[in-house]
Structure 1
Amino acid sequence: MTGIGVALLIAAPVALALSTGSEVRTSADPEAPAKPLAGIVAATLVGLLLVRVVPLRLPAMPAAGAAERPALSRQAGGLAMIALLLPAVVLAVDPGIWYAPIKLALFFGGATLVLRCWPSDWRGGRAHRRAMPTRWYWLGPLPALLGWAYLLYYSPLAGSQDMSGYRQYDRLYLLAATLLTFVTASLAEEVFYRALLQTRLEALYGRWPAIVATSLLFAAMHVHRIGDGPLWEMVAVMLAWNGGFGVLAGYLWARHRNIWAIFALHTAVNSLSLLPLLVG
């Protein structure tokens, strides 16, 4: 199954490059410019490479023991069902302004219920965090974050960064929207998908099966962005953009267990391009 997931994540940008051209729309906002596909792919690959080589060696998270696996499997299964429930709700009934409250209720309330229904004594994730050298815990993610951000937003591959369409909105409105996005996306999604779901899948099945599975579920969550156009194209954009981001965030989390690094990564992808409008 991991091989199929990897094939989908690779095939998506290739199919987009062959059929739709060099740019793709990654945001549901009509004001947001399209992003060059080459910049998305390059930023993701360079980010992954820098996560891997800085530093070359880090302690690995221990696998769950036989006694811990039953409860951990139930937890992971329950969390995966929540991850599937959100896009199912969106496809069944467009929640509109209720999307964010529903997501928070599922990701925090639903996850809490799952963990309380099937408690586990497994502490492998915390042990992995404590085993991480302090220097690399804080400094290790920086090259990947900076390299990824440069290629995606500031390099010649970044394309147009024209955000003038957002100037119709008051700065206070943009700030409030940014803060809301930080809570509902940067915090809620990373805690749920990476800290809770991926960590348990890693303990059960290993690093890369967990990263790939979580990334596909993370991409599926963005089904609300499907708009006009061929369905396959919308799915390919979700896999290339959201799925690729999920792989990068997941690998960063798996190697460093630094929740602040993935918060920063997610905040950057949602808000970095708006920064000149917020502070200018």
Structure 2
Amino acid sequence: MRSRVFTGVGLTLLVAAPSTLLLTGHTRIAVSADEEAGAVPLVVVVLPVLVGLLLVRLVPPGLPALPTPLAEHRRPLVRQAAGLVLVAVAFSAVSLALWSVPGGELLYGPVKLLFLLGAGWLLVRRWPAPSPAGRHRARIPARWYWLGPLPAVAAWGYLHFYSPLGGEQDLSGYEAWDPVELAVAALFTFVTASVAEELFYRVLLQTRLEALLGRWPAITATALLFAAMHVHRYGDGPFWEVTAVVLASNGGFGLFVGYLWARYRNPWWLIVVHGAVNALNLLPILLG
């Protein structure tokens, strides 16, 4: 009952965020903290997530919810999940502190790897238990393991990056970068964001919450923690506006990749989707 209430409240927040932005005239929002990146239409933030979620649900043969763990495995899983949630909360607080002091952003990437991969790996090793996703993943045929997510990812990618609804995106700020520096920055972001964040938030954290709480409570909780980690990236502004933008952009994205992970258990697609968010727009500049 408690998990259902939490899920209802969490999903309400995630739905209310873009609705509030729309009703208050915020039809374009910043989905990146990069100074070079401009605002994008709210519709190309929300619509791809909705279509992606629908296709993940409709395209077979998505896996059913995780079974309840055996009694002897439940205690270490509870410890793992609790520890991972604490790491997520602590990292959000540390990130906010780092970006509030001069030069702190230079430490952000290494600190992220230390928290998400270092502490995450240490917790799982400290309280060992069979991975809840191991046998679950084995239930899906290899062909569908790779092809099942494709329609949802393709539709999401088209709507997010190439749909006429988005209009022309101004990338002139990135063109001032040295190509080598831009490529190195993109690679560093790929490792610290696309890889580290998906391994921690979805593969480690969400999987354990799914085994203990159920699919949608876990997806919702992970999406909210994932969104909280990005609050520092949006700078100053009214609290409600910053919160709504983070929930609409990062929270909505967390729902999409969280459901993708729950239904297909393919971490490579998560990394591809996250990598596209961070770097796909830069490819014309890098290859030009």
Identify which range, 228-237 or 249-258, moves more after superposition.
Answer: 228-237
C-alpha separation between the residues in 1 aligned to 2:215 and 2:64?
A: 13
- The partner residue of 1:80 within 85, 100, 103 is 85
Q: What residue number does 2:128 align with?
A: 119
Unaligned residue ranges in structure 2 (runs of 5+): 1-5
Q: 1:59·1:131 contact (CA, 8 Å) conserved in 2?
A: no
Query: Displacement of 1:13 after TM fit?
Result: 0.2
Q: What residue number does 1:217 align with?
A: 225
Q: 2:81·2:205 contact (CA, 8 Å) conserved in 1?
A: yes
C-alpha separation between the residues in 2 aligned to 1:265 and 1:93?
A: 27
Identify which range, 89-98 or 100-109, moves more after superposition.
Answer: 89-98
Q: 1:153·1:161 contact (CA, 8 Å) conserved in 2?
A: no
**Does structure 1 residue 269 correspond to structure 2 residue 277?**
yes
- The partner residue of 1:202 within 188, 207, 210 is 210
Q: What residue number does 1:242 align with?
A: 250
Query: Displacement of 1:165 after TM fit?
Result: 1.3
Q: 2:132·2:208 contact (CA, 8 Å) conserved in 1?
A: no
Q: 1:51·1:252 contact (CA, 8 Å) conserved in 2?
A: yes
C-alpha separation between the residues in 1 aligned to 2:181 and 2:11?
A: 39
Query: Displacement of 1:124 after TM fit?
Result: 2.8
TM-score normalised to structure 1 length: 0.96
**Does structure 1 residue 12 correspond to structure 2 residue 10?**
no
Q: What residue number does 1:136 align with?
A: 144
Query: Displacement of 1:156 after TM fit?
Result: 1.5
C-alpha separation between the residues in 1 aligned to 2:63 and 2:94?
A: 40
C-alpha separation between the residues in 2 aligned to 1:81 and 1:157?
A: 39
Q: What residue number does 1:45 align with?
A: 50
1:1-53 CA deviation, whole Å, 9 max, x = no partner?
11110011000000111114310011111211211101111100001111111
Q: What residue number does 1:29 align with?
A: 34
Q: What residue number does 2:166 align with?
A: 158
Q: What residue number does 2:3 align with?
A: none
Q: 2:69·2:212 contact (CA, 8 Å) conserved in 1?
A: yes
1:102-126 CA deviation, whole Å, 9 max, x = no partner?
1100111111221222222x33311
Query: Displacement of 1:226 after TM fit?
Result: 2.7
In the superposition, relative to structure 1, how do residues 57 and 165 fare at CA in structure 2: closer, same or farther (>3 Å)? closer
Query: Displacement of 1:77 after TM fit?
Result: 0.4
- The partner residue of 1:175 within 145, 160, 183 is 183
Q: What residue number does 2:117 align with?
A: 108
% same residue: 57
1:36-85 CA deviation, whole Å, 9 max, x = no partner?
10111110000111111111554543221222111100100000000000
Aligned-residue RMSD, C-alpha: 1.3
- Which amino acid letter does the alignment assign opposite residue 47 of structure 1? G
How many residues align structurally? 279
What SS does the aligned partner of 1:202 have? helix
Q: 1:64·1:204 contact (CA, 8 Å) conserved in 2?
A: yes
- Which amino acid letter does the alignment assign opposite residue 70 of structure 1? R
- Which amino acid letter does the alignment assign opposite residue 225 of structure 2? L
C-alpha separation between the residues in 1 aligned to 2:62 and 2:225?
A: 29
